[in-house]
C-alpha cells in the first residue's frame, strides 16, 4: 500500500511539473505568433484557437471524464475496464460524426462570419476538433490508470509540437497565418506519441492501490460521481468563457485584429494561470488528504495551506501591478510585438483581475476538497454568465474596455462567492473526494486540460 501511494504521489508530482511546462510553452507559442504575424492574421489565429477550445471542452471533456472515472473506479478492484473503453469509443465516434455533420451544414457561417472567409482555417478548425477526440480519449485513459507522468508527457508533447510551428515561422522555415494555425491541429496528433509507451508499460492494477478503499459502490457511487463530474464540467466551461469568450466577442464587435489585441491583454492573466495550474494540480490532493484525516490539527493545516497560497497570490499580484504601472505597455510590446498599442489603465485592470482569478482558483480547490463541488460550480456559472452579459450590454463605448472591466468584476465576484463557500460550508457537507479517488483524479485531469 505504502509503495503504491508513493508511486502515485511521484507520478502526480510529475503531472504538476508537466502542466506548468505545457503552460509556458503555450505562452511562447502565442508570443512568437504575435511577433511574426500582422494584427489581423494573428487575430484570426486567436479566434480559431478560442473556437476550437470552447468546442472541444463541450464535446470531448465529458467523454474524457467518463473514461477516467470508469477506469479509476473499476481497475483498483480488479474489474475489467474494456467495457468502459469500448463504450467511450462508441460515444466519442458518435460525437465526432455528429460534429462533422453540423460543421459541414454550418460551413457558411463558421467560415465566413467567424473565420474571416478562410477555407484553410475552416478545415483546420474541423480537423482540430476531430483530432482532439483522440487526444482527450488518451488523456482519460492515462488519468484513469493513474499514469500522471505519461499524461504530463502528453501535455508537454502537445504544447511543444504546437510551438514548433510558430517557431518555424519565426526563423523563416515557414511563413504566414496558416503555417502557425496548422500547429493547432498538429499538436493533438503529435501528443499521441506517448500512447505506445503507455500500452507497453501497462500492467495489471493492484487491489491494494490507494484508490481501492476510496471507491464507494452501487447507486451512491454513481450519484456522487455523476454530480462531481457535472460540477467539474461546469467549472471548466465557465473557465473557457472567462478566458476565450473575450476574443470571440471582440471578433464580433470589432474584427479579428481586436480579438488578437484582447487575447494578448488577457494573457496577462492567462500566463500566470497556466503556470499556477501546476501548483493547483498538487494543491487539491494535498487538501483532500488533510480533510480525510479529520480532527482539529488537520482543519488547522487545511486553513494554513489556503492562507499561505492566498498570501503568495496577493504578493505576486502586488508585484505584477507594480511592474505594469511602471512599464506595462512597453513589456507587452516586448513580449508580443509592437503591432498593438497597449493601454496602461486596461493592463492594470487585468493585472488586478489576474490576482482575483488566481485567488478564486485556490478557493475553488478548497471548496472541492470540502465536498462543495456543486456550490463551486454554481459560483462559476453565475459569474461566467454575468461576464458575458456585462461584455454585451454594459454602457462602455470601448468593447475592449468592456471585456477588461467585465473580467475584473466577474473575477472579484467569483472570489467573493468562493470565499463564502470555503469559509461557510453548507451543512451538511458534501462528500469529500478521498485521496487517490476517482473524484480527485477527475479534478486533476480538469486542471491539466486547462494548461493545454
Q: How confident is the model at residue 223 (pLDDT cuts 50, 70, 90)?
A: very low
17, pLDDT greater than 90: no
Q: How confident is the model at residue 192 (pLDDT cuts 50, 70, 90)?
A: confident
Total of domains in the chain: 1
Residue 142: predicted pLDDT: 84
In 3D, which of 239, 240, 258, 257 has the Cα closest to residue 402? 258
User: How is residue 337 written as a grid cell?
Assistant: 510585438
436, pLDDT greater than 60: no
Q: Which of 95-99, 158-162, 363-367 has the lowest mean pLDDT?
A: 363-367
Q: How confident is the model at residue 7 (pLDDT cuts 50, 70, 90)?
A: very low
Residue 29: predicted pLDDT: 93
User: How is residue 327 written as a grid cell?
Assistant: 512599464
Provide the whole-model pTM. 0.81
What is the C-alpha separation between 353 and 265, in angstroms, rounded? 11
Q: How confident is the model at residue 452 (pLDDT cuts 50, 70, 90)?
A: low
Q: How confident is the model at residue 222 (pLDDT cuts 50, 70, 90)?
A: very low
The pLDDT of 221-238, averaged and rounded, is 69
Q: How confident is the model at residue 12 (pLDDT cuts 50, 70, 90)?
A: low
Domain region containing 388: 2-451
The pLDDT of 399-414, averaged and rounded, is 94
What is the C-alpha separation between 48 and 324, in angstroms, rounded? 29
Residue 423: predicted pLDDT: 87
Q: How confident is the model at residue 285 (pLDDT cuts 50, 70, 90)?
A: low
What is the C-alpha separation between 227 and 407, in angstroms, rounded? 28
Residue 221: predicted pLDDT: 47
What is the C-alpha separation between 377 and 354, in angstroms, rounded? 20
369, pLDDT greater than 70: yes
The pLDDT of 194-213, averaged and rounded, is 55
216, pLDDT greater than 60: no
In the chain, what percentage of residues exceed pLDDT 70? Answer: 79
Reported residue count of the chain is: 452
SS3 string, 385-443, reads HHHHHHHHHCCCCCHHHHHHHHHHHHHHHHHHHHHHHHHCCCCCCCCCCCCCCHHHHHH
The pLDDT of 292-303, averaged and rounded, is 78
Q: Which of 64-73, 87-96, 114-123, 427-436 has the lowest mean pLDDT?
A: 427-436
In the chain, what percentage of residues exceed pLDDT 90? Answer: 40
Residue 219: predicted pLDDT: 45
Residue 217: predicted pLDDT: 47
**Sign of the torsion angle spanned by Cα atoms 380, 385, 388, 394:** negative
Residue 111: predicted pLDDT: 94
The pLDDT of 426-438, averaged and rounded, is 56
pLDDT in tens, 232-271: 788 888 988 888 888 999 988 888 899 999 999 988 887 7
| Range from 9-13, 65-69, 134-138, 278-282 that averages highest in pLDDT | 134-138
Q: How confident is the model at residue 205 (pLDDT cuts 50, 70, 90)?
A: very low
The pLDDT of 77-97, averaged and rounded, is 83
Amino acid at each position: 500500500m505504502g509503495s503504491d501511494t508513493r508511486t502515485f504521489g511521484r507520478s502526480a508530482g510529475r503531472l504538476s511539473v508537466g502542466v506548468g511546462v505545457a503552460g509556458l510553452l503555450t505562452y511562447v507559442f502565442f508570443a512568437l505568433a504575435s511577433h511574426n504575424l500582422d494584427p489581423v492574421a494573428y487575430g484570426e489565429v486567436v479566434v480559431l484557437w478560442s473556437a476550437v477550445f470552447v468546442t472541444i471542452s463541450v464535446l470531448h471533456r465529458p467523454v474524457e471524464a467518463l473514461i477516467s472515472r470508469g477506469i479509476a473506479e473499476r481497475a483498483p478492484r480488479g474489474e475489467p475496464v474494456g467495457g468502459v473503453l469500448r463504450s467511450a469509443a462508441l460515444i466519442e465516434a458518435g460525437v465526432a460524426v455528429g460534429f462533422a455533420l453540423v460543421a459541414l451544414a454550418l460551413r457558411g457561417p463558421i467560415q465566413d462570419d467567424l473565420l474571416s472567409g478562410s477555407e484553410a482555417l475552416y478545415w483546420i478548425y474541423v480537423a482540430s476538433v476531430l483530432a482532439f477526440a483522440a487526444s482527450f480519449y488518451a488523456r482519460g485513459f492515462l488519468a484513469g490508470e493513474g499514469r500522471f507522468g505519461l499524461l504530463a508527457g502528453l501535455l508537454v508533447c502537445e504544447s511543444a509540437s504546437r510551438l514548433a510551428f510558430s517557431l518555424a515561422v519565426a526563423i523563416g522555415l515557414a511563413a504566414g497565418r496558416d503555417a502557425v494555425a496548422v500547429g493547432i491541429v498538429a499538436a493533438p496528433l503529435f501528443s499521441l506519441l506517448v500512447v505506445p509507451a503507455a500500452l507497453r508499460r501497462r500492467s495489471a492494477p493492484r487491489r491494494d492501490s490507494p484508490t481501492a478503499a476510496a471507491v464507494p459502490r452501487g447507486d451512491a457511487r454513481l450519484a456522487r460521481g455523476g454530480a462531481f463530474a457535472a460540477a467539474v464540467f461546469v467549472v471548466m466551461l465557465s473557465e473557457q468563457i472567462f478566458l476565450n469568450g473575450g476574443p470571440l466577442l471582440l471578433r464580433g464587435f470589432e474584427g479579428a485584429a481586436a480579438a488578437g489585441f484582447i487575447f494578448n491583454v488577457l494573457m496577462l492573466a492567462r500566463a500566470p494561470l497556466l503556470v499556477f495550474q501546476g501548483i493547483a494540480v498538487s494543491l487539491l490532493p494535498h487538501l483532500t488528504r488533510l480533510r480525510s484525516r479529520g480532527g482539529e490539527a488537520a482543519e488547522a493545516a487545511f486553513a494554513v495551506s489556503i492562507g499561505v497560497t492566498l498570501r503568495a497570490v496577493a504578493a505576486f499580484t502586488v508585484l505584477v501591478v507594480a511592474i505594469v504601472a511602471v512599464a506595462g505597455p512597453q513589456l507587452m510590446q516586448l513580449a508580443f510585438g509592437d503591432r498593438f498599442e497597449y493601454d496602461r489603465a486596461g493592463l492594470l485592470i487585468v493585472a488586478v483581475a489576474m490576482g482575483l482569478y488566481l485567488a478564486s482558483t485556490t478557493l475553488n480547490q478548497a471548496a472541492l476538497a470540502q465536498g462543495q463541488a456543486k456550490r463551486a460550480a454554481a459560483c462559476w456559472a453565475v459569474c461566467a454568465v454575468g461576464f458575458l452579459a456585462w461584455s454585451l450590454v454594459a454602457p462602455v463605448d470601448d468593447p475592449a474596455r468592456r471585456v477588461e472591466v467585465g473580467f475584473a468584476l466577474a473575477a472579484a465576484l467569483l472570489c467573493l462567492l468562493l470565499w463564502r463557500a470555503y469559509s461557510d460550508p453548507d451543512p451538511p457537507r458534501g462528500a469529500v473526494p478521498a485521496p487517490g479517488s476517482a473524484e480527485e483524479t477527475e479534478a486533476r485531469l480538469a486542471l491539466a486540460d486547462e494548461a493545454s
